Every structure is written in structure tokens, then in C-alpha cells.
Amino acid sequence: MRILVTGSNGLLGQKLTRRLQQDGDVYLIATARGESALTITRGEYHSLDITDHDQVDSVLSLAKPDVVINTAAMTQVDDCETQREACWKANVTSVEHLVRTCTALRVHLVHVSTDFIFDGSHGPLDENAIPAPVNYYGESKLAAEKVIQNSTISWAILRTVLVFGITEDTSRSNIVLWVKNSLEQKKVIQVVNDQWRTPTLAEDLAQGCYLAAKKRAKGIYNISGKDFLSPYDIAIKTADFFNLDKTLIRPTDSTKFVQPARRPLTTGFIIDKARKELGYEPHSFEEGLEVMVKQMG
């Protein structure tokens, strides 16, 4: 099976690139802007800007994938709010290009989406929950889902939540690394306790993408962690795990933060469908921290 990954230099893209190279039945075509962040030992790499339709058409026609896994997106929520044209181009126009080419080449598309398509009024949510985004990032990701759903291609949409993990260069931050680094520097941090998520280890999300691609799964799947936690809970668990001073962590609520984009208060996912149909089984949050520690050496 030939699988092409977009956004292979991102956190998820790197984890997925590693996972796919472990399967002797998969031929990997990794793609991203610029040079590859990883050495591709089994497969090939192409520089690809998916906002450029001609590049999408050229690379996919040359690579002839059976499946495309789209992990590329503009995910900085506040930047999406203030840079709407760039957000739409990265998150919607690019998907229109992929859908057009996948239709012509009869390629199965696995697309990664987000819990931020929901309004945060309740959770955890199953795949039948009604989307109602409260920020522009969520609007763009929902629009991309609709582009795919309204097409004639074979597709799967994988929705995920608050992805954490570590890359080789450790340059990409997330809530776990932010808490760890802040507490190691003896900084007092304020962390919200009125938002709820099911944080997702990047390796688990990569495994979900891998399973959906291998099975050519069709439809919408929730792919996230299994623990329903607030960011404050996450911070405390991180401090305990790394034996750091959790008295430096101060609980607060969302009203105390002024941010360009609203955040949904409660999301998180019910993952029963992915467990049953894909064989997906994520780590617990603490097990995810153990995975990160091993990678830190």
C-alpha cells in the first residue's frame, strides 16, 4: 500500500512517518514544505505546499498513492482568528485541492480534524454531536470537513483533541512541555480549571491515522486520549510525574485570559467507535508522559 502524508514535518506528521515506516507492507511518500525534518529510510520525500493546486496535482500524480493522510493545517488558534485569509487558505483551500486531485486519481483520503468545531457547551462528545464552532479556526476546520463530505471520494475524517508529544528537536511546544519547562524554571503559572478535554498523545493519533489508512475506513471517527481532564488537572499530573513543585501552579478560569479567539469550554471525545471498528486503544495520560520521557533520554 502506498500512503502519502502531508505535513510530515509537524508533530503528528513525524510520529506518523515513523509509524508507517515500521510496516513492511507500506510504501511511504512523506511531504511537507521545505526539506524533510526526518530521514526517510523506507520511502521517499517530496517538498509540497498543499495550498498550491498545481503542486498537489503534480506530486500526487507522480507518487500515485493509494491513500493520502492529511495532517497539514494552520492550528494556532489565535493566529487563525487574526489572520483569517491565511487560515482559510491553509485549512480549506488546501483541502479543496486535495479532494479535487484525490477524486481524479481515485485516492482514499484520511483527514485530521478537531474538537474545536464544537461550541463547548457539553462533553465528552460522540461522532453524532452537532458542530457549532466559536472561533475562526473551528469554522475553517468544519468547512474543510464539509468539502470532504460533499465530495464523491472515499474518505475518513479523524477528529482529535489537545495533542501533546515531543519531536527530536523539541522545538514544538504543547501544554505538557510548557508546564514542565515553566516549573523547572521555578515560574508561577496560571492554568485554567474550567475547560475539559481528552488530551491525545501524538503517537496515539498517529496510530489512529495508520489504522484508518490501512483499513480504508470510511466516515467520522473520534481519535483522542481516554482521560477527561482540565488543563489544571494536566498541569498537576505533569508536575507529579516529573517531581516538580505543583504549588507553583495556580488555578484560574477562562474569563481571566484575554485571547483573540474564544475557546470551547467542554469538549473531549467518546472513542468507542474507533475502538470497535479500528481497534484503536490509546495510552492513559500518565502512560503518555512515560512515552515522552523515554524520548527525552
Per-residue pLDDT of the chain (297 residues; tens, 9 = 90+): 999 999 999 999 999 999 999 999 999 999 999 999 999 999 999 999 999 999 999 999 999 999 999 999 999 999 999 999 999 999 999 999 999 999 999 999 999 999 999 999 999 999 999 999 999 999 999 999 999 999 999 999 999 999 999 987 655 678 999 999 999 999 999 999 999 999 999 999 999 999 999 999 999 999 999 999 999 999 999 999 999 999 999 999 999 988 999 999 999 999 999 999 999 999 999 999 999 999 987
Closest CA to 138 of 163, 152, 119, 165: 119
Radius of gyration (C-alpha) of the chain in whole angstroms: 19
Q: So what's the pLDDT on residue 126?
A: 98
Q: So what's the pLDDT on residue 280?
A: 98
Report how far residue 138's alpha carbon sits from residue 85's, in angstroms, rounded to the nearest whole number: 14
Q: What residues does 291 pair with on adjacent strands? A: none
Q: So what's the pLDDT on residue 8?
A: 97
Angle at CA of residue 120, ends 117 and 122, nearest 5°: 120
| CB neighbours of residue 20 within 10 Å | 25
Tell whether the torsion through CA atoms of 104, 105, 106 and 109 is positive or negative.
Answer: negative
The answer to the question of residue 111 being in a domain is: yes
Report how far residue 264's alpha carbon sits from residue 167's, in angstroms, rounded to the nearest whole number: 27
Closest CA to 224 of 162, 181, 160: 160
- Exposure string over 105-143, b if 16+ CB within 10 A, otherwise e: bebbbbbbbbbbbbbbeebbbebebebebbbbbbbbbbb
Tell me the backbone φ, ψ of residue 16, rounded to 5 degrees: -70, -40
The answer to the question of residue 176 being in a domain is: no
Q: So what's the pLDDT on residue 172?
A: 65
The answer to the question of residue 179 being in a domain is: no
The answer to the question of residue 82 being in a domain is: yes
In the chain, the number of structural domains is 1
Q: Please give the helix or strand (H or E) that residue 46 lies within, else none.
A: strand 43-47
The answer to the question of residue 64 being in a domain is: yes
Q: So what's the pLDDT on residue 43?
A: 96
Q: So what's the pLDDT on residue 50?
A: 98
The answer to the question of residue 218 being in a domain is: yes
Q: What is the pTM of this model?
A: 0.97
Tell me the backbone φ, ψ of residue 214, rounded to 5 degrees: -60, -40
| Contact between 227 and 199 (Cβ < 8 Å) | yes
The answer to the question of residue 245 being in a domain is: no
Domain that holds residue 83: 2-165+200-226+267-283
One-letter amino acid of 35: E
Q: Residue 45 has which C-alpha cell?
A: 520525500
Helix residue ranges per DSSP H, the chain: 11-21, 53-63, 77-82, 84-88, 94-105, 136-149, 175-184, 202-214, 231-241, 272-278, 285-296
27: domain CATH number?
A: 3.40.50.720
Q: What residues does 249 pair with on adjacent strands? A: 189
Q: Which positions ≥6 away from 172 have C-beta within 8 Å?
A: 10, 11, 166
The answer to the question of residue 121 being in a domain is: yes
Report how far residue 41's alpha carbon sits from residue 29's, in angstroms, rounded to the nearest whole number: 11
| Contact between 238 and 180 (Cβ < 8 Å) | yes
Q: What residues does 12 pair with on adjacent strands? A: none
